Amino acid sequence: KVLGLRMHPLNEWITNQVLTRKEFADKLDISVATLSRYLSRDRVPKPEIMRKIIEATGGAITPENFYFIGNYKDVQFKKSFFGTHLLSIEVLNANEITSILDRSEYFIKPYENLLNSQKNYKNRTLINLFFEDSTRTKTSFELAAKRLGMNVINMQIETSSIRKGESLIDTAMTLNAMHPDILVIRHSLSGVPHLLADKVRCAVINAGDGQHEHPTQALLDALVIRRRKGKIKGLKVAICGDIAHSRVARSNIKLLTTMGAKVNVIAPKTLMPNGIENLGARIYNDMKKGLENTDIVMILRLQHERMHGSYIPSPREYFRFYGLDIIKLGYAKRDALVMHPGPINRGIEIDSQLADDIDRTLILEQVELGVAIRMSVIEHLISNTEN
Ligand code: CP
């Protein structure tokens, strides 16, 4: 259980009605074990069960209060959490990941919740420091911070003093001297956010460092999976494509295995890094075998910006063997869903029609929920630095 959180509102409601868990579970046609997992925040109900909960409680429990875990000031996030920074997934345990996901649920319907939160952040500042291109991550950090009521500065690297020879560390320390609360850093070199986190007083969030980690991407992917499948534990997830150069793959393998999912990685030998099995993934070079019985298929882009040399015979050949289309998706479970961190390259790692199929593909949902995840991460970090 997440430490310090108050009793679940549904648990309170059941207790006040002098019902047993069994009696209430029967009303929903679910087992007591499943109900208990909802109440301990281990699992979230699927939409049809949520509807039954609203009906059975006469509207006393709604998605808003179901996911609500207290006002900002009331929330006692576990102190040891990820400390002052979010630099990698590997420092998070399952409870901490669950805490971030739960709090994101609160921000998904932001309108009334925003009014609660904004007053706490109006004197706070977040700086986006992106040394590498980004559409999704940079925009969603900006939106997340603005929705929380923070000031946001987007550093324009190409017009900054870095062009006059200022070093990375001097740039970070200069920004730090202006007392931001959070520095969001993306860099093409693995380890840069860690290096800068040692030099500054504010919280640092790793927004993707080389081929090392992209923690908020893995967290938002986990939120999408949990909402769609109702759980993460016990699922089988395939991550396919350019595993060798992918920080998204590394963060996702760590998060999914921590949460009890099984992970298959599928790539040609040239794009499969040595030792990836040490993170807990099973290795496949064949899509048919690797996709067998999987619930989620995550597809990765070929990351040419991190390649030095030739790794595939041709994009056409690559698509033939590793590009996901409706035929290859047929090797996975019938209800398997497709994810992609973006940006997508149509006709190379994913068939264009499949990419647009909203019944099978969650690409835009990943982007949408990325804002809520980042709001939750920002809130956790500010809460930690305050305590
Ligand atoms: N998924 C992701 O990191 O996308 P951007 O590069 O557009 O931020």
> Distance from the CA of 76 to the center of ligand 1, in angstroms?
31
Taking a C-beta distance cutoff of 8 angstroms, is the pair 240, 300 a contact? yes
> Distance from the CA of 341 to the center of ligand 1, in angstroms?
7
208 close to ligand 1 (CB < 6 Angstrom): yes
- Please report the DSSP string for 111-145 in residue order: HHHHHHHHHHHTT-EEEEEESS--SHHHHHHHHHH
Best residue among 131, 132, 135, 242 to mutate for probing ligand 1's pocket (most ligand atoms within 8 Å of CB) is: 135
305 close to ligand 1 (CB < 6 Angstrom): no
> Distance from the CA of 305 to the center of ligand 1, in angstroms?
13
Written as six digits, the tokens of 225 are: 């999976």
Q: Which long-range contacts (CB under 8 A, 24 or more apart) does 89-96 make?
A: 89/213, 89/215, 89/218, 89/219, 89/251, 89/254, 89/255, 89/258, 90/213, 90/254, 92/215, 92/255, 92/258, 93/258, 94/258, 94/259, 94/260, 95/1, 95/2, 95/3, 96/2
134 close to ligand 1 (CB < 6 Angstrom): yes
One-letter amino acid at 290 equals: G
Taking a C-beta distance cutoff of 8 angstroms, is the pair 209, 247 a contact? yes
Q: Can you list the residues of the chain whose pLDDT is less than 70?
A: 1-7, 41-42, 64, 67-83, 109-117, 119, 385-387
Between CA 11 and CA 35 the distance in angstroms is 10
Residues contacting residue 27 through CB under 8 Å, at least 6 positions apart:
52, 56
The predicted pLDDT at position 67 comes to 66
Residues 130-163 as b/e (b if ≥16 CB within 10 A, e otherwise) read: bbbebebbbebbbebbbbbbbebbebeeeeeebe
Between CA 133 and CA 117 the distance in angstroms is 30
Cis-peptide, bond into residue 180, ω within 30° of zero? no
Strands 151-154 and 125-130: parallel
Atom 5 (ligand 1) nearest CA: 134
> Distance from the CA of 136 to the center of ligand 1, in angstroms?
5
The predicted pLDDT at position 70 comes to 43
Atom 4 (ligand 1) nearest CA: 136
Q: What pLDDT digit, counting tens, does each position of 219-242 carry?
A: 999 999 999 999 999 999 999 999
Best residue among 131, 132, 137 to mutate for probing ligand 1's pocket (most ligand atoms within 8 Å of CB) is: 137
137 close to ligand 1 (CB < 6 Angstrom): yes
> Distance from the CA of 38 to the center of ligand 1, in angstroms?
32
Q: What are the CA-CA distances from residue 325 to residues 119, 178, 219, 329 (Å)?
A: 47, 50, 26, 6
188 close to ligand 1 (CB < 6 Angstrom): no
215 close to ligand 1 (CB < 6 Angstrom): no
Question: DSSP 3-state assignment of 313?
Answer: coil
